[in-house]
Amino acid sequence: MKKRYKMDLNEKQNVILCRTTSFHAGSVTTKKLMEDSISFQKYWKRIPFFLRSRFKGASEICVIRINRNEYGKARRSIDCLETKVRRRLVLNVI
């Protein structure tokens, strides 16, 4: 008999904050979120070979997820980043 895994109660509350193909922009963003004490989840997603033209040849994309309740605080902290880094992020609007 297989055991069913239980999902976290807040799993449906997580939303995608931003995506980027730049390693530097992803690390600067996560560093700023940690300084502001915002919990997040960061993972790298592989891009299939035939879809890489959409992402200018990048093989992986960094996705940062946060809790829906902390969205406003996270957007304010991202607005404090340099414009060079902010241009590399694709922000989601809720």
Counting residues of the chain whose pLDDT is more than 90, the rounded percentage is 67
For position 27, what pLDDT does the model report?
95
pLDDT at 1 over 70: no
For position 4, what pLDDT does the model report?
60
The CATH architecture annotation of domain 13-91 reads: 2-Layer Sandwich (3.30)
pLDDT at 6 over 70: no
What DSSP string runs through 44-74? Answer: EEE--GGGTTTTTT-SEEEEEEEEGGGHHHH
Q: What angle do CA 30, 72, 7 make, to 5 degrees?
A: 70
pTM: 0.80
Q: Which of 65, 83, 62, 87 is CA-nearest to residue 74? A: 65
